[in-house]
Amino acid sequence: MGRWEPNARDRLQRAALELYSEQGFDQTTVAEIAQRAGLTERTFFRHFADKREVVFWGENALHELFVDAVANAPDSASPLEGIAAGLEAILAYFEHIPRESARQRQAVITANARLQERELTKYSSLAAGIADALRRRGTAELAADLTAMTAVSVFKVAVESWIDATDDRDLSQHIHGSLDELKTLVADG
C-alpha cells in the first residue's frame, strides 16, 4: 500500500490496534505502527500526538456531541430526558465503528493499566461536561452531578454490553435498553 493512498488515519489506527493486540501496547513502537500501515513516523505524528491517542482518537468529538445534545435539549426536558438526548446524539459517533473493532480496542485498554487510567479520565471529563451543561440549564448542583455520573454509567454499561453481545442487537438497542432499565429503577425507588 503506497504512502499516497487515502485514509492514513484509519490505516494507522488499524495497524496500531493489530500490533497492540499481538504484542502489547508497551511493546509496540510508533515506527512499527507506521511500517505496518505503509506510512512514515512523520505521517503518524501528523495524525496523533502519541501512541495512546490512536486508542482514544475521536473521544473529543464524542464528548462534544454528548454535551451539546444535553445543553440543547428542549427547555421542558428533565435532566434524565437531557441525558437521553445526549445518549441518542452519540449514536452517530458509533455508526461506522464495527463491533469487532470496538472489541479489539477495549481488549487493548483492558490489558494496560495506563490506558485504563486514561479511559477513566475521559469518562470523568465527560461527566464534568454533562454536569456543567445541566447546571447551565438550571439543574441544581447535586442533581446535575448525579445525573451526569448516571449518564456516563449508562453509556459505559451499554457499550460494554454491545461489545460483549453475541446477538445482532446494535448499540442503539443496548443504549435504549440500559436507559429503560435506569428509568425502571428510578420509578421503583
Q: Tell me, yes or no, whether 177 and 103 share the same domain.
A: yes
Count of domains observed in the chain: 2
Q: Tell me, yes or no, whether 18 and 92 share the same domain.
A: no
- pTM for the model: 0.88
Calculate mean pLDDT across residues 129-137.
97
Whether the Cβ atoms of residue 67 and residue 133 lie closer than 8 Å to each other:
yes
Q: Identify the three-state secondary structure at position 139.
A: coil
Q: Tell me, yes or no, whether 94 and 130 share the same domain.
A: yes
Positive or negative: CA dihedral 130, 65, 101, 116:
negative
Domain that holds residue 171: 58-188
Q: Tell me, yes or no, whether 100 and 170 share the same domain.
A: yes
CATH number at residue 107: 1.10.357.10
Cell of 8: 492514513
CATH number at residue 20: 1.10.10.60
Q: Tell me, yes or no, whether 118 and 30 share the same domain.
A: no
Calculate mean pLDDT across residues 41-67.
93
Calculate mean pLDDT across residues 57-74.
93
What pLDDT is attached to residue 5?
57
Q: Tell me, yes or no, whether 170 and 103 share the same domain.
A: yes
What are the φ/ψ torsions at residue 118 (nearest 5 degrees)?
A: -60, -40
